[in-house]
Structure 1
Amino acid sequence: MRYTLLLHYPELMAEGELDEAAIQEGQRAFQEYATALADAGVLIGADVLAPSSATTQVTRKAGELQVQDGPFADTREALGGRFLIDVADLDQALEWAAKAPSVTWGTVEVRPVGTWFDLDSRHWQVDPQAT
């Protein structure tokens, strides 16, 4: 079953709150985490998102396309990245979420993937267990 691990953590830190060594340690920890997921054969994909200040929102209201620069949410934590995994069940997804480096300074949201577009078949696939 596919799960998306959505990583939410503080996006903007005070000047000097993280030194270069802490940044390098975080990068090393995420490298090890992604490698462990890949070695276990459960990793489908992973992304680190650009800052929310780079966000652009697109909507069509009353027939008119509207494009607006972000950010939009006024929150302490922002969505910073995601890991897409394929595991047997929620318990395994939670085990992997607990190992995410950012769980110590943010939140890891575990959400089942209900439907996905399969590139090989060019059709939408539905996971009946995701309800």
Structure 2
Amino acid sequence: MKQYLLSIYQPQGGMPEPEFLEAVMTDLGVLRRELESTGCWVFGQGLHDPSTATVLRPGNGEVLLTDGPFTEGKEYLGGFTILRAPDLDAALAWGRRYALATHLPVEVRPFQGEAED
């Protein structure tokens, strides 16, 4: 099976209401347990706010460190999941479920090459 990255993008701004966030986390827990039970789960985790990021940019034989996200935008990577799926259609089906659970855009992208079992 190939491995796929599901990137979850969220808008800048404050956290959602606790009731909403609790429902999202419950739905994500259900998805994770199902992925684990089917052998498709590899890894996944939410990320801290983009203000905690550090960018390392090479140039002239040195590396410049800057605080903050790589680019400024209205949306940023808020979390990700890596899963195994037999094909893109199966990975997209999981991605749809993540989009419905989080109410956020989800990008599904295959890793290069075949995953080692």
TM range (shorter): 0.7 to 0.9
The offset of 1:19, in angstroms, is: 2.1
- The answer as to 2:66 corresponding to 1:79 is no
Residues of 2 paired with 1:37 and 1:25: CA distance? 19
SS in 2 for 1:44: strand
Question: 2:8 is matched with which residue?
Answer: 7
User: What TM-score, normalized to structure 1?
Assistant: 0.78
Alignment of 1:1-131 (within 5 A): 1-13=2-14, 18-100=16-98, 101-102=101-102, 104=103, 106-114=104-112, 126-127=113-114
The offset of 1:82, in angstroms, is: 0.9
**Structure 1 residue runs of 4 or more that deviate by more than 4 Å after TM superposition:** none
Residues of 2 paired with 1:3 and 1:94: CA distance? 9
Residues of 2 paired with 1:113 and 1:39: CA distance? 22
Residues of 2 paired with 1:99 and 1:35: CA distance? 13
Aligned-residue identity in percent: 26
User: For the structure 1 residues 47 and 18, does the alpha-carbon distance in structure 2 shift closer, same or farther, using more than 3 Å as the test?
Assistant: closer
Q: Structure 2 unaligned runs (5+)?
A: none
Checking the alignment, whether the CA contact within 8 Å between 1:11 and 1:80 is kept in structure 2 is no
Q: Return the index of the structure with the highest Cα Rg.
A: 1
The offset of 1:65, in angstroms, is: 2.1
Residues of 1 paired with 2:74 and 2:4: CA distance? 25
Amino acid at match of 2:42: I
RMSD: 1.7
Q: Which has the higher contact order (CA 8 A, sep 6+)?
A: 2
